[in-house]
Amino acid sequence: MNAHAPISASDVAPPNAIAQRLTSGFRDLDLVNRLAGARRAIAGRLVLTTSFGLEDQAITHAILSQNLAIDIVTLDTGRLFPQTYALWSETEARYGRRIRAFYPERLSVEAFVAQHGIDGFRASIAARQACCAVRKVEPLGRALDGASGWITGVRAEQSSERAITPYASVDAARGLIKLNPLLDWTREHVAAFVHEHGVPYNTLHDEGFLSIGCAPCTRAVKPGEPERAGRWWWEQEDKKECGLHSRPRPIPETVVAS
């Protein structure tokens, strides 16, 4: 796949076909050309959701340094680390662009805290997932409303579940194409990219926080632990996700390439 080849208006394909075409071409492209190729292949709004982790900062740099027509948004759960907010501000200052925030619905947060307590998400996996649903999944739905493509910082080596994720796939629940342009990158590759380009990053990474989410749900990773061991560490199960990254399934709608 030539990342710079234009796609004609007559090139109408089902989303699965577009996802497969992107997946087959991504392997031989660098990050910028993966993003540029996705921007050309998918008509309509393309969105990166950033949590300001190392991966998202690398993608943000690639988008903004090349002025790609891709929206960058974040989900402010209300429980983020002070260092994350500081990086948010630093990133906007560095690139001269606002990163739009989506917040949880006030009534839903109030109802959850009233029922479970301020840190009631530790009581059970179901309670934690309910908190994630209120603070992250529902705002994500609004952030992606009307989007044709969703870009994430998911990497295969982050977990066994993510290891079987494709570069591009159809997210049936949200009706769009989901893209993972860093899927085959190692953490060392991401860190080297960030260092090489002087990309701002969360100082918590220097303190052993490999995966950074909400402050009460994240701890530093101990030597020898997997990357996501610091997320919801009190839960005794291998698959620990907040609900943002569900497995994709085919949908009948078409996405028209421009």
**Catalytic pick from 131, 214, 217, 242?**
242
Q: How far is Cα 188 from Cα 210, in angstroms, rounded to an integer?
A: 12
* Structural element, H or E, at residue 250: none
Rounded distance, CA 142 to CA 162, Å? 24
Give CA–CA dist 82/67, Å, rounded. 28
| φ, ψ of residue 4 in degrees (nearest 5) | -100, 0
Rounded to 10 deg, the angle between the 187-197 and 54-65 helix axes is 50
How far lies 195's CA from each of 52, 86, 130, 200, in Å?
A: 15, 19, 37, 9
8 Å CB contact between 165 and 183: yes
Give the contacts of 256 (CB within 8 A, at least 6 positions apart).
9, 12, 43
Q: By the 8 A CB rule, do 213 and 51 touch?
A: yes
Neighbours of 129 (CB within 10 A): 16
On whether the CB atoms of residues 57 and 79 are closer than 8 A, the answer is: no
Is 131 part of the annotated catalytic residue set? Answer: no
Query: Which residues are part of the catalytic machinery?
Result: 242
